Homo-oligomer: A and B are copies of this chain.
């Protein structure tokens, strides 16, 4: 499981992503379900000063599609995907903490993934990339921290897939994190979530432009990605939000093509889907999506309770949202209960957000105090 590291080097920032740094982990990275990667690169960003004793680190994992650019910084003033949560005086307070956000292994924003060149063949991995698991994402982040000289973090934090990665990190590297902050995540995926993601993947694979994964670099199944994103939005938001927001409002610019856009909710989905297309590599999407299906913390011991016996967390926060249909609240409760049973001081926080699974990205009035108060008390 533990990657076999030999040496490492940090590359300078890349043009266009000025705050991003890329760490090279030469040698062999053994994958959780078999196979290996060579010369893995992991992209990351940091905010705040690292304390001399390295005792102020927060490790932040992302959801399926974001990059490591979680927030702006002097080096890169463009807003990040968690801009309101990370910065001076914000919940992930960079006046106090040194925050490290890692682009997941298998993603496409600087970390090694299916679109990366396989050093053995000189061509993109495509479907030659080995099966990716959440454990691999966690292990790559751990290797990155070690390479940066950080052996232990105050808290490992993540939402959605990021929460699974954070939990895998705590399971694989007991003692490497003192506190777990799991937002809108779970110990495993339930069949409804698997079904949604399975159909998303099928929409991508059904697009002829996917070409069995061998599309030209930077190109790919745009229609499949657009359709998959629409389905994604249905699982990320909530029916009650849309009822309040759109009702039966008709679209301003009703299309005149047969069965085209007629209602505002259709127009919204179309614009959200179009904005996503081209910004994310299709094969990375497939691998990361399947990794979420495959994750099951219980496999680290036979049952969740047995698996959790290895945890050396001091405290945990488990927060989720009652309108989440992808990671439903009963899964948050089950995770919190299992942590508590293990003897970890656990806070369970069900939030009344209306925006479903995506609430951690948009319902800042609830998530800011939830996370901020918790981290402030550390």
Known contacts: A192-B239, A259-B290. The answer to whether A199 contacts B213 by CB under 8 A is no
Q: Is the CB of B190 within 8 A of A234?
A: no
A242 vs B231: C-alpha distance when bound (angstroms): 19
A265 vs B269: C-alpha distance when bound (angstroms): 26
Interface membership of A303, Cβ < 8 A: no
Q: Is the CB of A231 within 8 A of B199?
A: yes
A233-264 contacts to B, CB under 8 A, are: 233-234, 238-239, 242-243, 245-248, 258-259, 261-264
Copies of the polypeptide in the assembly: 2
Known contacts: A198-B269, A263-B198. The answer to whether A203 contacts B227 by CB under 8 A is yes
A86 vs B234: C-alpha distance when bound (angstroms): 36
- Residues of chain B contacted by A95 (CB below 8 angstroms): none
Known contacts: A213-B258, A263-B191. The answer to whether A230 contacts B290 by CB under 8 A is no
Q: Is the CB of A190 within 8 A of B239?
A: yes
Q: Is the CB of A199 within 8 A of B230?
A: yes
Q: Is the CB of A325 within 8 A of B239?
A: yes
Interface membership of A206, Cβ < 8 A: yes
Interface membership of A349, Cβ < 8 A: no
Known contacts: A199-B234, A199-B269. The answer to whether A293 contacts B191 by CB under 8 A is no
Cβ distance A99 to chain B, nearest Cβ, rounded Å: 33
A266 vs B192: C-alpha distance when bound (angstroms): 10
Cβ distance A288 to chain B, nearest Cβ, rounded Å: 12
Q: Write the A197-241 contact mask toward B (1 if CB under 8 angstroms, else 0).
A: 011011101100000110000000001000100110110001100
Q: Which 9 A-B pairs have the closest CB atoms?
A: A192-B239, A191-B265, A191-B242, A191-B246, A198-B266, A127-B258, A201-B259, A195-B265, A199-B230
Interface set of A (CB-CB < 8 Å, partner B): 127, 188-192, 194-196, 198-199, 201-203, 205-206, 212-213, 223, 227, 230-231, 233-234, 238-239, 242-243, 245-248, 258-259, 261-266, 269, 286, 290, 293-294, 296, 325, 328
27 contacts across the A-B interface (CB closer than 8 A): A127-B258, A188-B248, A190-B239, A190-B242, A191-B242, A191-B243, A191-B246, A191-B247, A191-B264, A192-B242, A195-B234, A195-B265, A196-B234, A198-B269, A199-B230, A199-B269, A202-B227, A203-B227, A205-B259, A206-B223, A212-B258, A213-B258, A239-B328, A259-B290, A262-B290, A262-B294, A325-B325
